[in-house]
Amino acid sequence: MILRIDIDRTSPVGLRDQVHAEISQVILDGILPPGSKLPSVRLLAGQLDVSVNTVLGAYARLLEDELIESRHRSGYFVHSNLRLAPPNGSDVVSEVYQSVDLEKHLNTKVRPSRNKSIKRPENWRDCPYPLVCGQIDVAHFPLTEWRECTRLAMNRHDLSIWTGDNFYRDSEELLDQIRKRILPLRGIFTFSEYILVTMGSQQSLYIVASLLGGADKTVAFEDPGYPEARNIFERLFGNVQFIEVDDEGLVVDERLMGVDLVYVTANRQFPTTASMSAARRNLLLQKADEYDFLILEDDYDGELNYRKDINLALQRQDKSGRVIYIGSMSKSLAPGLRIGFLVADPRLITEARALRGLMIRHAPMILQNTAALFLRFGHYDALLSRLHASLEQRWILAHEILKQDFQDFQISSSLGGTNFMMTDPSQTRTAKKIVACALSDGVVIEEISSCYHDPGDGTYSFRFGISCVGDAALEEGLGKLRRAINEG
């Protein structure tokens, strides 16, 4: 291996001590973890242009400090039993960085790390009952089909396409497949010029907010609503107008007068799961024309709706070009693939493409080409068919259990969804306590106070999902949740 070490031959500190100090710092900073092999004495001496005895002396001191160990006929290694202090925020910032007054340089109004969002344990995948929302059941992931599409996308004939810089353009094949196979499922029929591929719906949200926001602009936002979207709007708009939701979705009234943009999750409101009624949709579109505002429709799980009589996308009803549509393949295929898309007036798409280009130019072409093949070969349609049948069965199972065993809770959900929102109307059990008690028994559910403008409004509400657990784990997990609530 090559170990980069700075040697100052003009320093009064000897070369041996400099080598010792440099390697010590690299080890203690965790850059070389326990068990890492160090360069041989002769190799390091040659790299640094010092004598072998200088390196031997440095290694001898490191052995005395128990930072490294010598293994017979194998060489020197960072000590396998070395215990370093775990990272803990600013406590582990090295001295070279602590000398900088970063607070002086940071934008005082921009601290994304302090944003409120829905939290779940980092190791939630290791828990036996991950009743989390928005994740996939890996047992359903079409690994064989995806691997084959990847192999075909990486053929030598197309090598120059996916290894080169495509400037700001997307894969024409993927745009065509989104236009022909995904959007028609939501009732949208459009052209490729109206579509932009993004790295998930999150990037779509940020791009739209950046283009339409400003210090003098107002966005109307659902309360409760998607916290990550709220964080973006609070960053990029001068004012956020919070408007409550009911069992028909966002309340539409005179408060929308004067706003520039309305953000809605019309298909399935986040997090209450309410679907916007036909009357409310018509009224919203009517007010958009009357009050002259645009609508941002976040159809975050539209592709998973397994009902036969589903409401189609709000954009389908739009006759004046005011609705900007955000979709993705995250909830159906995999969140980690980050395949999203934006559908809007081509003039907005032109600006969105240029803005995206300033950040990432375009999503990786190999990913776009693989997704295009996956769609073209019909694998996506087959996957949705399997998912719809499985999710409907799980929803019915969960609904029956909740109706029988959780009669003391207010439950929000409807056939076609994958999430359940639960509220304790007696206000005797906080969601925070319920979430903690459930986690101690291996059940992962989610506190949703961060979805509310006033977090106190969500003190007694939490949610759980059915998308990434099998029937058996779902049934047993809900049983353990009931016991955790009773014993908590």
Q: 25: which 2 tokens?
A: 């710092």
Of the candidates 242, 235, 193, the residue with the CA atom closest to the CA atom of residue 210: 235
CATH of domain 6-100: 1.10.10.10
**What is the residue-level pLDDT of the chain in tens, covering all 488 positions?**
677 788 888 888 999 999 999 999 888 878 888 999 999 999 999 989 999 999 999 999 999 988 999 998 899 999 988 876 555 544 445 555 667 777 777 776 667 888 888 988 889 999 999 999 999 999 999 999 999 999 998 886 667 666 777 778 899 999 999 999 999 999 999 999 999 999 999 999 999 999 999 999 999 999 999 999 999 999 999 999 999 999 999 999 999 999 999 999 999 999 999 999 999 999 999 999 999 999 999 999 888 888 877 789 999 999 999 999 999 999 998 888 899 999 999 999 999 999 999 999 888 889 999 999 999 999 999 999 999 999 999 999 999 999 999 999 999 998 899 999 999 999 999 999 999 999 999 999 999 999 999 999 999 999 999 999 999 999 999 999 999 999 87
Of the candidates 288, 279, 234, 228, the residue with the CA atom closest to the CA atom of residue 261: 288
CA 172 to chain CA centroid, nearest Å: 26
Select the CATH number that applies to the domain covering 143-377 from these four: 3.40.190.10, 1.10.3720.10, 3.40.640.10, 3.40.50.12140: 3.40.640.10
What local confidence, expressed as pLDDT, does residue 95 receive? Answer: 59
Q: Domain boundaries in the chain?
A: 6-100, 124-134+382-487, 143-377
DSSP 8-state symbol, 429: S
CATH of domain 124-134+382-487: 3.90.1150.10
DSSP 8-state symbol, 37: B
DSSP string, 366-400: HHHHHHHHHHHTTHHHHHHHHHHHHHHHHHHHHHH
CA 391 to chain CA centroid, nearest Å: 22
Structure-token match 């539209």, residue found: 302
Amino acid at 394: R
DSSP 8-state symbol, 221: E
Q: Taken in order 425, 428, 432, 437, is the CA torsion positive or negative?
A: negative
Return the number of other C-beta atoms located less than 10 Å from residue 353's C-beta.
20
DSSP string, 455-478: GGGGTTEEEEE-TTS-HHHHHHHH
* Helix (H) or strand (E) segment spanning residue 22: helix 15-28
Q: Taken in order 375, 327, 228, 367, is the CA torsion positive or negative?
A: positive
Of the candidates 455, 475, 452, the residue with the CA atom closest to the CA atom of residue 464: 475
Angle at 291 between CA 288 and CA 297, to 5 degrees: 25
What local confidence, expressed as pLDDT, does residue 433 receive? Answer: 95
Distance separating alpha carbons of residues 165 and 302, to the nearest angstrom: 32
Strand order in the sheet with 410-412: 410-412, 419-423, 461-465, 446-447
What local confidence, expressed as pLDDT, does residue 179 receive? Answer: 95
Residue-wise over 465-488: b if at least 16 C-beta within 10 A, else e? bbbbbeeebbbbbbebbbebbeee
Question: What are the distances in angstroms from CA 456 to CA 98, 270, 430, 459, 461?
Answer: 37, 17, 10, 5, 10
Return the number of other C-beta atoms located less than 10 Å from residue 196's C-beta.
28
DSSP three-state, residue 293: coil
DSSP string, 161-186: HHHS--TTPPPHHHHHHIIIIIGGGG
Structure-token match 């070009």, residue found: 321
Amino acid at 429: R
Distance separating alpha carbons of residues 256 and 83, to the nearest angstrom: 58
